[in-house]
Amino acid sequence: MASGLPGKLLTPLDGITLQTKIAANAHAMKRWLGKAEVVLGNHSDRLNAINVFPVADGDTGTNLYLTVRAAVAALGGTAPDSSENGNDVGAVLSRAGQAAMEQARGNSGTLFAVFLCAAAEPLAGKTRLSAPLLATALNRAQIRAWSALSEPVAGTMLSVLEAAAHAAEAADASQNGDDSNHALGLSLDAVVEAAYQAVIRTEDELAQLHEAHVVDAGGVGMLLVLDCLRAAVLGEELQEELLDGLHGYKLQDPHIHEHMPADDGVEVMCTINLSPLNAAILRQRLDEMGDSVIMSQVGGAQGADDDDDESTVEISYRWRVHVHVADPEPAVAFIRSLGEPTDIAVSQLAIPRDDGQHPADTQEPAGSGSTSIKEAFNSSGQSRHEY
């Protein structure tokens, strides 16, 4: 399988043969996400340890794990052949992606959800993944992920996803569009290798990472997700040497973020139905209020009626919204002025300390009382408030 050299990954000549047992159907996609849930859970602490961008809040691993867990839960108990869409690869990933989007946590979780939803679209109606479809899906995903952010930054999981997409496209082109399982295996190897190299480059692409001498946490998370896809399709385990040599990733390495200044801002997330115009207005206003703005559609258009050209019902879309702001009140108030948001969550960006200054996250059920956001934070110091 591997060459045995530290940091050396598989290449298309290292292990994929015509005898390699490859499964790329809907069941394999479920296996992929289940494997990703376990792997991200196991790696969450190390991902948290190197999380310094965009905020050094040490939660990238946790956010990715919780978001993937939501995707897996949406598929729980549904056998791949138990419904008319059971063998539809796109339908399975779309269902998982919608759940991930609705319950996404943080920047990394939201971008993973965007990735999964976008990748599912060109796979709709397909019963198996192929090298050409992989290239199309990853390209759609990387374009959607870059466009979801108001101010996308290179040297992050965006760059890793982009490199993976380009590798899939190149591999597919070199194989002349071969849709065999063997070609898919070669493409997946190329994707993981490209993602690995992109992760290494992140350290020199972002000043914050270079100064901390670590690679990007979200990028490593995306690398793990992609290698889980490779492993699930090829029926193999993750490549043990995958993370060898990545700066800051050894178990004995310290949690970098613990020695950085705390961020006094908050993260606001919600889901809301908006017309295209109001979505543009919201993005512009949130850009003025804060940073790390991510807006991505959840599902298709709502309110459309193809049989009634005279319909006055304005078409709207369901959006997942994410922003970092100094004060949540103005942001939430403006969001509410445009519609009726659901699943509003406000989380402190301050780094959890061991001195008791920042208690563990607490949550309140939807519609719980009329306590203001500021009161919720000030009364108990809680770091997360949902209502």
Q: Is 356 left (phi over 0), alpha (psi -120 to 50) or beta?
A: left
Q: List the domain boundaries for the chain.
A: 26-259, 266-386
How many whole angstroms separate alpha carbon 49 and alpha carbon 42? 13
| Domain 266-386 class, CATH top level | alpha beta
Element (H, E) at 69: helix 60-75
Paired strand residues for 321: 270, 295
387, pLDDT greater than 90: no
Q: What pLDDT is stored for residue 337 in this prediction?
A: 95
Q: Percentage of the chain surpassing pLDDT 70?
A: 74
- Asked whether the predicted pLDDT for residue 376 surpasses 70, the reply is no
Instruction: Tell me which H or E stretch contains 207.
Output: helix 207-212
Of residues 219 and 240, more confidently modeled: 219
Q: Of 3.30.300.20, 1.25.40.340, 1.25.40.10, 3.40.640.10, which CATH number belongs to 26-259? A: 1.25.40.340
Distance CA 239, CA 252 (A): 21
| pLDDT of 306 over the 70 cut | no
Q: Dump pLDDT digits (tens) for 171-187.
A: 999 999 999 999 999 99
Question: Cβ of 383: how many Cβ atoms within 10 Å?
Answer: 20
Three-state SS at 4: coil
Task: Give the pLDDT mean for 35-44.
Answer: 94
Mean pLDDT of 70-86: 68
Average pLDDT over residues 179-207: 94
Looking only at the bridges linking them, the beta strands covering 316-325 and 384-386 are: unpaired
Q: How far apart are CA 6 and CA 300, in angstroms?
A: 45
Instruction: For residue 370, give both structure tokens.
Output: 């009329």
Q: What's the pLDDT band for 335 if we cut at 50, 70, 90?
A: very high
Nearest by Cα to 377 from 352, 358, 354? 358
* Helix (H), strand (E), coil (C) string for 156-178: CHHHHHHHHHHHHHHHHHHCCCC
Phi-psi region of 193 (alpha: psi -120 to 50; beta: other; left: phi over 0): alpha
pLDDT band at residue 51 using 50, 70 and 90 as cut-offs: confident
